[in-house]
Structure 1
Amino acid sequence: MLNVFTPYRVCPLGAHVDHQLGQVTGFAIDRGVRLEFEITNNGEFEVCSKNYPGVVKFNVCEEYEREMTWGDFLKAAIIALSRKYDIKNGIKGVVEGSLPVGGLSSSSAVILTYLNALCIANHIHLTENEMINNAMWAEKNYIGVNVGRLDQSCEVYCKKDSLLYLDTLDNSNEIIPINKKMKPFEIMIVFSGRERQLAGSAYNIRVDECKAAAYALQAYAEMDYKEFSTAVLRKIPIGIYKEYRTKLPENWRKRADHFFGEKLRVTEGIKAWKEGNLDKFGQLMFESGRSSIELYETGSSNLKDLQDIFENTDGIYGGRFSGAGFNGSSIALVDPQKEDIIKENVYKKYISKYPELNEKIKIIFVNTADGMELNYD
């Protein structure tokens, strides 16, 4: 029996900007998606999930239809690879995600897991960048979410005990080890008790609002511009943004304000990380979370309340909700010596507001991890 594993990711700084070719940061964590499988030589696929009911069963020669179920992610991976490679062998196995769905890039992780297994089964050798590009194509063109490169890149490039800095404009990246002077920390993940469905959320609307802001700013400044689909805020000089931002409709202006504010926070955060200043890095995470709520205008009510709780809990260096903010999880960097009291305080404060989620909220402490291994030997 073969097995492949893809870690989940968290993004401390650089939220909601990768689809605008912004700069981002991330950790891979020691939880993720695992697939145990054997190879079939007749093109048959048969996969069951330990997280969701049902069995996905089909042949590679069949014409696929979107069913809006968890099986669509396997089909997305097959179609992405089939653009260039001949997929003859199938897989039979069991897939499992080790944490609840919501904000930890589970969709990206499961697609990467399937891609890796398909490569092993069909003797396909992808580079890290090719793996990322295929996963992005699958999620954009089959699943229907206008994702950037953050999730896939974190889950492939990250290294244990290090922060990934990624510039999605040119895909340059830097692995920045923990400074020896930095205080110890753990990553706390609080699952709010409510899962989210990203493709059915307002995520794509936010992406379009950012693009609309970029398109309008180019027009106001009489810059050369092409199709709306190519407009991104990263291509807007900050001077142009400052001069014309007040001309934008309020929603578009707020999205632009978040983008340029997050750009500065990433820059300051990288400096703080390299200096080993965890307090400063954490404060920037809190500011990022507030900007997501007030300027990007996302975050479900329970995630907004978790933000308030994080900001007023001793031992939490910094925190914010993870992912797009439409239910799911929040993440925080915390003092390991105060883990128990932090968990108790967060749980009590949250349940006082959402007693109906008493049995569903989960508070988990994890550590940084390496990205996925491309197991082709």
Structure 2
Amino acid sequence: MGMIEQFVGPGGEPFRIFFAPGRVNLIGEHTDYTGGYVFPAALDCGTWVAVRPSADGRFRFFSTGFAQQVECTADELAYRPEDGWSNYPKGVVWHLCAQGVELPGCELIYHGNIPNGAGLSSSASITLATAYALSALADSGMSKIDLIKLAQRVENEYLGVNCGIMDQFAVGMGKAGQAMLLRCQTLEYRYVPLALGDYRLVIINSNKRRELAESKYNERRAECEEGFRIVQAHLPHRADLGSVTVDEWESVRQHIPSAVIRNRLEHVVRENDRVQRSAEALVQGDLHTFGHYMKESHQSLRQLYEVSGKELDALVEAAAQVEGCIGARMTGAGFGGCTVNLVHHAQIDEFRRRVEESYRGATGLTPEFYFCEIGDGVREIDREAESCPF
């Protein structure tokens, strides 16, 4: 018996299979919700969903990762805390219906291999996989950009998470072997080849759950909004903080009375500059300069934006001590989750051994190492494909 049949039994209409990846942000942290630049890439791990119309018009949500199974009608799609993980796909169904997409009831079975709470965007992966699958099933004609915006609204309006659009965009528009330089305010983007040569991206999960991430995220966002109101009074031609240049910031920073808020804006403005310089360094094949910007980014997130934490700092410091590691930084919202590292392939084993030993000694926690490839964005796949878990 296959994985699907364990949930719904044999028979019925055939299932269609869809996949949405997780993502890693190479550089550009806490810049998306101020309209600035980010530099994410889609991964080859993610969320698969098998979907078919149900015989009775009801929606049923199953997951290989959670015992809880949720069933509802189209009139029972309101957010309910007790529905747990299924609120993500329920929110997608609610928003599609609100936009006039005529959905049949559906059976949806999910399987994922993104670690929960690691900051690799499992939430955007599940919402976009659902949106893309149901849109295809209903033949809605919605574009990927439409679905990306819808997935962000699910997080903002249905789930109450005040996130920017980076995660959904990377999950939706990813391309194998490429990172994306994205301006979040306008959604202008371009692909930048990740030609890493002898180096590999190594993602390390701190295994520190991100308990503070949501509350601190909202706090930092409010601080940036407060600071930008002062900046805009002196730079009225700038509509968002993400468009403020380093030179412009230097000309107005003295007008910010709060040292804390001044630090927050200092990070955002200079991080936006680092993102653009990082993309150009990769275009030029200058990996060491790219790695240098990764290190600068982490120090800024640690000292100015204060969203790191002892676990992430311990990982970055341990990585920096290993020959062959030319870049290391936290990635994601912070306060736990993952770091992303640029490591020479010949040093991978030594890197893993020494970082694990050092980190365990500093924190008592055991890290997990992911050697992901850069993959394509959301798509439909063949059930017979080698990568399909169903």
Q: TM-score, normalised by structure 2?
A: 0.87
Unaligned runs of 5+ in 2: 1-14, 382-390
Q: Does 1:2 align with 2:16?
A: yes
Q: Distance in 2 between matches of 1:178 and 1:325?
A: 24
Q: Could you list the runs of 5+ residues in structure 1 that have no partner in the other structure?
A: 226-230
Report the secondary structure of 1:70's partner residue: helix
2:135–2:141 CA contact under 8 A, matched in 1: yes
Partner of 2:272: 263
Aligned residue runs from structure 1 range 214-229, under 5 A: 214-219=228-233, 221=234, 223=236
In the alignment, which residue of structure 2 is the partner of 1:272?
281
CA distance in 1: counterparts of 2:146 and 2:204, whole angstroms: 32
Counterpart amino acid of residue 68 in structure 2: G
Q: Are 2:316 and 1:297 equivalent residues in the alignment? A: no
Tell me, what secondary structure is at the counterpart of 2:65? coil
Alignment of 1:167 onto 2:183? yes
Counterparts of 1:210 and 1:233 in 2: how far apart (Å)? Answer: 8
The change in CA–CA distance for 1:236 and 1:200 in structure 2 (over 3 A counts) is: closer
Distance in 1 between residues matched to 2:173 and 2:235, nearest whole Å = 39
Preserved contact between residue 19 and residue 380 of structure 2 (Cα < 8 Å)? no
For 1:141-194, what per-residue CA distance to the aligned partner results, in whole angstroms no more than 9, with x for missing partners? 111122112111111222111221111222111112245xx5233221211113
Match of 2:8 in 1: none
Asked if residue 120 in structure 1 is aligned to residue 147 in structure 2, the reply is no
8 Å Cα contact 1:188-1:332 kept in structure 2: yes
Match of 1:89 in 2: 104
Q: Evaluate the alpha carbon distance shift between residue 224 and residue 159 of structure 1 in structure 2; reply closer, same or farther with a 3 A threshold.
A: closer
Q: 2:252 aligns with which of 224, 244, 263?
A: 244
**2:89 is aligned with 1:74:** yes
Aligned to 2:350: 341
Worse-matched range after superposition: 199-208 or 98-107? 199-208
1:13-28 correspondence runs (5 A) = 13-28=27-42
Q: Which residue of 2 aligns with 1:183?
A: 197
Amino acid at match of 1:245: R
Whether the aligned pair in 2 keeps the contact of 1:322 and 1:330 (CA below 8 Å) is: yes
Deviation at 1:240, TM superposition (A): 4.5
Aligned to 2:369: 363
Q: Structure 2 vs 1, CA of residues 41 and 213 (structure 1 numbering), >3 Å: closer, same or farther?
A: farther
Within the candidate set 111, 116, 125, 1:109 is matched to 125
Question: Is residue 325 of structure 1 aligned with residue 334 of structure 2?
Answer: yes
Cα distance change on mapping 1:65 and 1:178 into 2, 3 Å = closer
Distance change (3 Å), C-alpha of 1:86 and 1:253: same
Task: Name the CA shift for 1:209/1:16 in 2 (closer, same or farther; >3 Å).
Answer: same
* Structure 1 residue 86: Cα displacement: 3.3
Are the equivalent residues in 1 in contact too, given 2:34–2:242 (CA < 8 A)?
yes
Residue 378 (structure 2) aligns with: 372
Is contact 1:103-1:330 (8 Å) kept?
no
Distance 2:28 2:228 in 1: 18
In structure 2, the residue matched to 1:140 is: 156
The CA RMSD over aligned residues, in Å, is 2.1
Name the SS for the 2:106 alignment partner: strand
Q: Does 1:65 align with 2:65?
A: no
For the 8 Å contact 1:191–1:330, the answer to whether it is kept is yes
Kindly provide the amino acid, as one letter, of the partner of residue 365 in structure 1: F
Q: C-alpha offsets along residues 13-53 of structure 1, whole Å, 9 cap, x if unaligned?
A: 11110111101111111111111233215331212222233
Asked if 1:51 is matched to 2:65, the reply is: yes
Q: Deviations over 1:248-296 (max 9, x none)?
A: 2122111110111112211211111011111111111111111111111
Percent identity over the alignment is 27
Q: Does structure 1 conserve the Cα–Cα contact (< 8 Å) formed by 2:242 and 2:272?
A: no
The residue aligned with 2:56 is 42
Task: Tell me the distance in 1 between the aligned counterparts of 2:179 and 2:79.
Answer: 39
8 Å CA contact 1:87, 1:122 repeated in 2: yes
1:100 aligned counterpart, secondary structure: coil
Which deviates the most, 65-74 or 297-306?
A: 65-74
Aligned counterparts of 2:41 and 2:77: Cα–Cα separation in 1 = 37
Distance 1:224 1:286 in 2: 32
Give the one of 307, 316, 322 matched to 2:316: 307
Look up the SS of the partner of 1:61 in the other structure: coil
